[in-house]
Amino acid sequence: MKTLLFILITFPLFSQSSENNLETVETFVYPNPSGIGKFNVVAVENATFTLYSTSGTYIGKWDFGDSKEIVIENIPQGFYQAIIEKEGKFVYKKIVIL
- What are the domain boundaries of the chain? 24-97
pTM for this structure? Answer: 0.71
Topology of the domain covering 24-97: Immunoglobulin-like (2.60.40)
Band of pLDDT at residue 60, cut at 50, 70 and 90: very high
Please report, as a single letter, which amino acid is at residue 10. T
pLDDT of residue 25: 57
- The DSSP bridge partners found for residue 71 are 40
Residue 63 near residue 45, CB atoms below 8 Å = no
Considering the chain, what is the average pLDDT of its residues? 78
pLDDT of residue 9: 41
Helix (H) or strand (E) segment spanning residue 60: strand 58-63
Of residues 83 and 65, the one with the higher pLDDT is 83
